Chains A and B, each alone.
Chain A
Amino acid sequence: GNSVTQMEGPVTLSEEAFLTINCTYTATGYPSLFWYVQYPGEGLQLLLKATKADDKGSNKGFEATYRKETTSFHLEKGSVQVSDSAVYFCALSDPGRGSTLGRLYFGRGTQLTVWP
């Protein structure tokens, strides 16, 4: 079946530190992979995505590369800011047809806190 495992938090960093949040997945077929971010009191927003192996998604200084050989999609940022404090969710989109088409499977989320 489909599942996503991401590193448990919380993660606490100082401003300008390097960030890595690990995400691995299990899937039947070839899913699309996503990172969503949730700021306090808000809904989820798409941060970046990759639709096939070796694709790199990037946005706002965040990057993640779709690694089929290691079934991973780790999120990285070279220099975090206080405004990056949020919960980050890794997700995969079921590539199957029929009743499961497009369904998203989420990891449990990783809370990031950045201190000035």
Chain B
Amino acid sequence: NAGVTQTPKFRVLKTGQSMTLLCAQDMNHEYMYWYRQDPGMGLRLIHYSVGEGTTAKGEVPDGYNVSRLKKQNFLLGLESAAPSQTSVYFCASSYNEGGFPDTQYFGPGTRLTVL
């Protein structure tokens, strides 16, 4: 049971390049989330998904897109990277407890630098 895994662990991009971050979970969780962590800001929600084939915007969605084609995977895309997207990205998942999402489990993070 690997829990929540993220690929890659580190990445350096140039402004304008694109990339996709992959999150995978093997706990059969319904809900999945993408956060970014910046110094002194805590974690901020980018996008989330309440089930396969569904996505929704979070607090800071601009410049990002997501897809949830399979229940176990949640992809975060940057179409045209900007220096402001330099951050550490965390994926999380949670299961459905009586119709409400329960505790969120986090991946180890992806450190992204945009030059």
Q: B103 — which chain A residues lie within 8 A by C-beta?
A: 34, 46, 49
Q: Interface-forming stretch among A12-20, A61-69, A99-107?
A: A99-107
- Contact check, B58 vs A108: say whether CB atoms are below 8 A apart: no
- Contact check, A44 vs B90: say whether CB atoms are below 8 A apart: yes
Known contacts A43-B107, A43-B108; A101/B101 CB under 8 A? yes
A-B contact count (CB 8 A): 47
Q: A26 — which chain B residues lie within 8 A by C-beta?
A: none
A59 at the interface (CB under 8 A from B): no
Complex Cα spacing A95 to B56, Å: 17
- Contact check, B42 vs A106: say whether CB atoms are below 8 A apart: yes
B6: nearest chain-A partner, CB-CB: A43
- Contact check, B106 vs A109: say whether CB atoms are below 8 A apart: no
Complex Cα spacing A42 to B107, Å: 8
Binding site for B on A (CB under 8 A): 4, 34, 36, 42-46, 49, 89, 93, 95, 99, 101-104, 106-109
A and B contact pairs by CB, cutoff 8 A, 22 listed: A4-B42, A43-B90, A43-B106, A43-B107, A43-B108, A44-B43, A46-B103, A46-B105, A89-B43, A93-B101, A101-B50, A102-B31, A102-B101, A103-B45, A104-B33, A104-B45, A104-B104, A106-B44, A107-B42, A108-B40, A108-B41, A108-B42
